Structure 1
Amino acid sequence: MQDIRNKLKEAEEQISEVEDRLEEIMDAEHKREKRLKTNEESLRELWDNVKRTNICIIGVPEGEEREKGTEKIFQEIIAENFPNMGNEPLIQIQEAQQVPYKINPRRNTPRHIIIKLTKIKDKEKILKAAREKKQVTYKGTPIRLLADFSAETLQSRREWHDILNVMKGKNLQPRLLYPARLSFRFEGEIKTFSDKQKLREFKYSNTKPTLKKIPKRSSLNKKRNVKKKRLQNH
């Protein structure tokens, strides 16, 4: 019996050592994931800062840039859609380029044009005018003027879209702030959230039925999860 007790004690000590080691490993893994997330956020923030004064032009037909140059195309777009800006101080362009093909060089869709301005207020003024006009054109062809973001920020902004649509129907006046924060008016106050978890916490802490109808997660995420499960089953 004494031998059995000694062996049990040794086994318990070994199990305790393994548990301690496992806890150390899990703690180290948690710290590693936290560092990785911090580095990713820093890189994302760096890219967004680099792109802070950029305007992305989508839909200009291929070949126009070779004939006129990207700066000339941008100037023509401004003159065609926002003639009143011609009376204001000249908008200075720091750099203009066409984004190279990354996936399929034979695709029919035109490449995006990136315009880097020297002043962020010029970018904001142009994008505001584009939103108010609703339909921007180049030689009569519909095009789009958008802010240029990192791929991670673009994805974060897309994930707010379904919630934005619901809030618009509830007259909450939602907006997407730079770079990917949701803002809306609720009971006379402006509420701002940087991620969905904080929005969920605010929603569950509030008894108003208007907020209760906001979806728990985006339909985009649901579709992605369904697609993932199908791939796993195959």
Structure 2
Amino acid sequence: MGSSLVNYANKVDQRLLQLELTYSALQGDNDSLKVKVADLEGRSRHQNLRIVGLPEGIEGPRPSMFFSQVFVEILGSEILTSPRELDRAHRSLAPKPAPGGKSRPVILRFHRFQIKDLVIHEARRRGELTYKVHRIRFYDDYSPDMLKLRAKFKISMAELYKQGYKPALLYPARLRIILPNGDKTLLRSASEADKFVQALNTNP
């Protein structure tokens, strides 16, 4: 009787272990699929730029023309020798704020991705930008799903920084880590990043 119970308990343990392994694999696959779907939507936004900090209505009745000129004024003619073509420019679809309320972000679509890439890299290099006393910030226009996927790396990245690593969150949602010996490793999902951190904590 006793040996039967032990055998039964061992079988249950094995099944639980198998279920945990299967769940872990499915979770990784699910994360990868979410990244692929979000990536497809992200590609449609690849030429978009989001600007935060400009007052409502400053763009006037012709926003595309206004922002084409704004980039030249902010970044200088040594970066953009002339206003560049924008396919469209508009405020986000959130309700218009009351007077004195927080302004909505501006979403722009550049006609050429190379120009958008140049603008955002220059903005990041400079750090702080202003336009007529207004402090503004430039961001990639990620979809809500993509933002959620990228946010999942936040805890593991904080832990990696704490331990002296240099993680970098790549597009669409992958984590590149520079190891102490200079090698690089690429983690393709948040669950992979969590496992990597757990392994570090288990084997310091």
| TM-score normalized with structure 1 length | 0.62
In the other structure, the counterpart of 1:16 is none
Seen in structure 2, the aligned counterparts of structure 1 residues 120 and 106 have a Cα distance that, compared at 3 Å, is: closer
Deviations 1:31-83 (A, max 9, x none): xxx99x95x65542332111011111111101112255244135314422344
1:160 deviates by: 2.2
Q: 2:193 aligned with 1:199, yes or no?
A: yes
Distance apart, 1:176 and its partner CA: 1.5
Please give the alpha-carbon distance, in whole angstroms, between the structure 1 residues aligned to 2:60 and 2:40: 31
Residues matched between the structures, number: 173
- Asked if the contact 2:68/2:85 (under 8 Å) is kept, the reply is no
One-letter amino acid of the counterpart of residue 202, structure 1: F
Greater helix share, structure number:
1
Deviation of 1:205 (Å): 4.8
* Offset from partner CA, 1:20-41 (integer Å, 9 cap, x none): xxxxxxxxxxxxxx99x95x65
In 2, the alpha carbon distance for the partners of 1:59 and 1:169 equals: 31
2:47·2:116 contact (CA, 8 Å) conserved in 1?
yes
More off after superposition, 190-199 vs 145-154 = 190-199
User: Does the aligned pair in 2 maintain the 1:77–1:138 contact within 8 Å?
Assistant: no
Q: Which residue of 2 aligns with 1:96?
A: 89
- 1:207-222 matches, within 5 Å, as none
State the partner residue of 2:57: 63
Cα 1:156–1:84 change in 2 (3 A) is same
Q: CA separation of 1:158/1:74 partners in 2, compared to 1, >3 Å: closer, same or farther?
A: farther
Q: How far is the alpha carbon of 1:132 from its aligned partner? A: 1.2
What letter matches 1:122 in structure 2?
Answer: I
Q: Which residue number in structure 2 is paired with residue 5 of structure 1?
A: none
Q: 1:142 to 1:169 in 2, by over 3 A?
A: farther
- Give the Cα–Cα distance (whole angstroms) in 1 for the partners of residues 65 and 104 of structure 2: 15
Q: Choose between structure 1 and 2 for higher RCO, CA contacts under 8 A separated by at least 6 residues.
A: 2
**Aligned residue runs from structure 1 range 1-234, under 5 A:** 38=33, 43-66=37-60, 69-87=63-81, 91-101=84-94, 104-106=95-97, 108-186=101-179, 187-205=181-199
- SS of the aligned residue for 2:80 comes to helix
Alpha-carbon distance in 2 for matches of 1:111, 1:77 = 19
For 2:84 and 2:55, the matched residues in 1 are separated by 24
Supply the distance in 1 between the matched residues of 2:156 and 2:164 (Cα, whole angstroms): 12
Separation of aligned partners in 2, 1:90 and 1:105: 28
After the TM superposition, which of the residue ranges 145-154 and 161-170 deviates more from structure 2? 161-170
- The structure with the largest alpha-carbon Rg is 1
Q: Among the aligned pairs, what percent are the same residue?
A: 20
Q: Which runs of 5+ in 2 are unaligned?
A: 1-28
CA contact (8 A) 2:97 2:104 kept: no
Kept in 1, the 8 Å contact 2:130–2:136? The answer is yes
Looking at structure 2, the residues matched to 80 and 41 of structure 1 have their Cα atoms a distance apart, in angstroms, of 34
TM-score scaled to structure 2, two decimals? Answer: 0.70
Rate the CA distance shift 1:143–1:203 in 2: closer, same or farther, 3 A. Answer: same
SS in 2 for 1:198: helix
Cα distance change, pair 178–42 in 1 and its aligned pair in 2 (3 A): closer
Deviation, 1:199, is 2.0
